[in-house]
Chains A and B, each alone.
Chain A
Amino acid sequence: MPPRVDAAHPVAAPARVRRFTRAERWVHRTTAALMGVCVATAACLYIPAFAELVGRRELVVRVHEIAGVLLPVPVLVGLVSRAFRADLGHLNRWGPHDRVWLRAALRRDHRRASRPAGKFNAGQKTYAAWIAGATLVMLGTGLLMWFTHLTPLMWRTSATFVHDWLALTIGVVVAGHIGMALGDPEARRGLRTGLVSRAWAEREHPLWRP
Chain B
Amino acid sequence: MRSGYGILTGTRRPWHRGGGGCSNRSVNPEPPEEREAPQPADREATEPAQAPGPAASGTPIGRRVLLGTLGLGALGVVAAPTLQRGLEAFLGGVSGKDPTGLTDLLPNGGGFRYYSVTASVPRRDETNYRLTVGGLVDHPKSYTLAELRALPQTRLVQDVQCVTGWRVRKTPFEGVRLATLLDAAGVRSSAGAVHFTCFDGAYTESLTLEQARRSDVLVALKMQDKPVSHDHGGPVRLYVAPMYFYKSAKWLSGITVTQAVQPGYWEDRGYDVDAWVGRSNGRDDAPTS
Q: Smallest CB–CB gap between A36 and chain B, Å?
A: 20
B117, A48: Cβ atoms closer than 8 Å: no
Q: Which of B37, B47, B59, B65 contacts A6 (CB 8 A)?
A: B47
Which residues of B does A touch, CB under 8 Å? 1-5, 7-8, 11-12, 15, 18-19, 22-23, 29-31, 33-40, 42-50, 53, 55-70, 72-74, 76-78, 80-81, 83-84, 105-108, 113-121, 164-165, 231, 269-270, 281-284
Residue in A closest to B164 when the chains form the complex, CB atoms:
A160
Contact A158-B116, Cβ < 8 Å, known A58-B269, A94-B61, A169-B8: no
Taking CB atoms and an 8 Å cut-off, the chain A residues in 127-146 that contact chain B are 128-130, 132-134, 136-137, 140-141, 144
Tell me which of A1, A13, A140 has the highest count of chain B C-beta atoms within 10 A of its own C-beta.
A1
Closest-CB distance, B71 to chain A (whole angstroms): 9
- Establish whether residues B69 and A130, one from each chain, have CB atoms under 8 Å apart when the complex forms: yes
Cα separation A11 to B116 with both chains bound (whole Å)? 66
The distance in angstroms between the C-alpha atoms of A173 and B1, with both chains bound, is 13
Smallest CB-CB A-B distances: 7 pairs: A153-B282, A133-B69, A137-B73, A93-B58, A118-B34, A158-B80, A164-B107
B22 touches A55 (CB 8 A): no
> Using Cβ atoms and an 8 Å threshold, which residues of chain A touch B283?
153-154, 156-157
**A200 within 8 Å of B by Cβ?**
no
Please, which residues of chain B bring their CB within 8 A of the CB of A193?
none
Chain A to chain B contacts (Cβ below 8 Å), 30 pairs = A1-B53, A5-B45, A6-B48, A7-B45, A8-B48, A13-B47, A48-B113, A48-B114, A55-B120, A57-B115, A58-B117, A90-B31, A92-B61, A94-B58, A95-B34, A102-B15, A113-B38, A126-B11, A129-B69, A136-B69, A137-B72, A137-B73, A148-B270, A154-B283, A156-B283, A157-B84, A161-B83, A166-B4, A206-B35, A207-B36
Q: What 1/0 flags go to A98-121 for Cβ under 8 Å of B? A: 110010000000001100101100
Does A136 contact B70, Cβ atoms closer than 8 Å?
yes
If over half of A's interface residues share one DSSP class (helix, strand or loop), that class is named, otherwise mixed; here it is helix
A78 to chain B, nearest CB (A): 16
Contacts of B60 in A (CB 8 A): 92-94
Q: How far is the CA of A120 from the CA of B3 in the complex (A)?
A: 29
* Min CB gap A196→B, angstroms: 14
Beyond the given pairs A5-B45, A165-B3, A168-B106, 14 more chain A to chain B contacts, judged by CB atoms under 8 angstroms and listed by A's residue number, are A3-B35, A6-B47, A9-B48, A48-B231, A51-B114, A94-B15, A94-B22, A95-B34, A118-B34, A155-B77, A160-B164, A162-B80, A164-B108, A165-B76
